[in-house]
Amino acid sequence: MKQFATITVIGRDRTGVVARVTSFLFGKKANIEALEEQVTRGQFSMTLQASWKKGQLDEAGVKSGLEELGRELGMEVGFKMFDPRRRQRMAIFVTKEPHCLETLLKEWKAGRLKTDPVLVLGNRPDLELVARRFRIPFFHVPWVERAEAEQKALKILEEHQVDFVVLARFMKILSPTFVWHYKNKIINIHPSLLPSFPGAQAYRQAYEAGVKVVGCTAHFVTMHLDEGPIIAQDCFKVRPGMSLAEITASGRELEARVLLKAVKLFLARRLDVYWGICHEV
């Protein structure tokens, strides 16, 4: 029976990083299951999945060795064990709109969402009572300085052994560094049929453009705003004379359903991302 871990490496680009990390892991009897790396504006990011045969993993030795390697490289190196057979641990990020959060937690409470929601994190305190109603811990992290807020959030996620993150109308932009800690494990809901109308005020953009169909998109988060691999979409027709408020209200109902569908597909391991495209398998 194999044991699995995810290793993340983030920092200023330099020669030989991939070789140093993989050579160290080979020396620790690891098998490289998957590896993805990229350099953007001099910033190096890598996510690597490794496995060990039963009895071959020296977890303490691997952790301490990676920490030492990180110091030598001047980079942040993370190590996280995971068991693909156990229930995934979910964190939900929110701001002030409750509809997506409530739908996810109601489905979980009813036994139809096969995950463990271990925390709700908000950049505002507005939805703490919703989390309390479902007996889920709530963490308020003000998002004044993004770097500081993200460090606090990452620490909370690590302490609670979170496997994936759902942005349930979380109205802050995550940095590339944060995203690489959870590569293809952050799911967002956007109120438009992407790639149309990215960014803020999507319903207003659609209304002012006079479109006849409005929808929403659940997608994996990447370092490029609202451009991540699309998981699920749905839409509704705009009736003649429909106001912006009516479009927004109909859109919110749809957002919750589409986000829930995307999370269920993710939990069922039916999503495969290849060359930036998400395929349902």
Nearest Cα to 261, choosing from 219, 229, 228, 226?
219
Six-digit token string for 232: 């699920």
The stretch 107-118 carries a mean pLDDT of 97
Write the pLDDT tens digit of every residue in 86-99.
899 999 999 999 99
Q: Are residues 94 and 67 in the same domain?
A: no
Nearest Cα to 24, choosing from 56, 68, 54?
68
Query: What distance separates the 2 farthest-apart alpha carbons in the chain?
Result: 67
Q: Are residues 104 and 10 in the same domain?
A: no
Please report the pLDDT score of residue 192 as a whole number.
97
Write the pLDDT tens digit of every residue in 212-224.
999 999 999 998 8
Residue 12 maps to which CATH number?
3.30.70.260
Q: Helix 202-209 vs helix 244-267: angle between axes, to the nearest 10 degrees?
A: 130
Q: Are residues 216 and 122 in the same domain?
A: yes
The stretch 216-242 carries a mean pLDDT of 95
Instruction: Using alpha carbons only, give the angle 130, 135, 136 rounded to the nearest 5 degrees.
Output: 75
Please report the pLDDT score of residue 84 as a whole number.
79
Please report the pLDDT score of residue 198 as a whole number.
95
Q: Are residues 47 and 145 in the same domain?
A: no
Please report the pLDDT score of residue 276 as a whole number.
85
Q: Are residues 25 and 120 in the same domain?
A: no
Q: Are residues 70 and 113 in the same domain?
A: no
Q: Are residues 149 and 118 in the same domain?
A: yes
Residue 120 maps to which CATH number?
3.40.50.170
Counted domains in the chain: 2
Q: Residue 236: how many CA atoms within 13 Å on its side-chain side?
A: 18
d(CA 103, CA 166): 12
Nearest Cα to 168, choosing from 110, 111, 124?
124
Nearest Cα to 119, choosing from 75, 154, 79?
154
Q: Is the pLDDT of residue 275 over 90?
A: no
Is the sign of the CA dihedral 225, 41, 166, 136 positive or negative? negative
Of residues 188 and 80, more confidently modeled: 188
Domain-ending residue, one of 16, 50, 82: 82
The stretch 184-190 carries a mean pLDDT of 97
Q: Are residues 21 and 148 in the same domain?
A: no
Is the CB of residue 192 less than 8 Å from the CB of residue 202?
A: yes
Domain-ending residue, one of 28, 56, 82: 82
Mean pLDDT in the chain? Answer: 95
Write the pLDDT tens digit of every residue in 139-163.
999 999 999 999 999 999 999 999 9
The stretch 176-205 carries a mean pLDDT of 94
Name the catalytic one among 13, 58, 83, 226: 226
Q: Are residues 236 and 276 in the same domain?
A: yes
Which helix or strand (DSSP H or E) is residue 147 part of? helix 146-159
Six-digit token string for 110: 């009813």
Six-digit token string for 276: 């930036």
Q: Are residues 129 and 74 in the same domain?
A: no
The reply to whether 13 belongs to the active site is no
Q: Are residues 51 and 106 in the same domain?
A: no
**Burial category of 261 from C-beta neighbours within 10 Å (exposed 0-12, middle 13-18, buried 19 and up):** middle
Q: Is the pLDDT of residue 236 over 90?
A: yes
Q: Are residues 261 and 216 in the same domain?
A: yes
Domain-ending residue, one of 46, 64, 82: 82
The dihedral over CA atoms of 35, 154, 113, 235, expressed in degrees to the nearest 10, equals -80
Domain that holds residue 29: 3-82
Is this prediction's pTM over 0.85?
yes
Q: Tell me the pLDDT band of 241, cut-offs 50, 70 and 90.
A: very high
Cβ neighbours of 179 (radius 10 Å)? 21
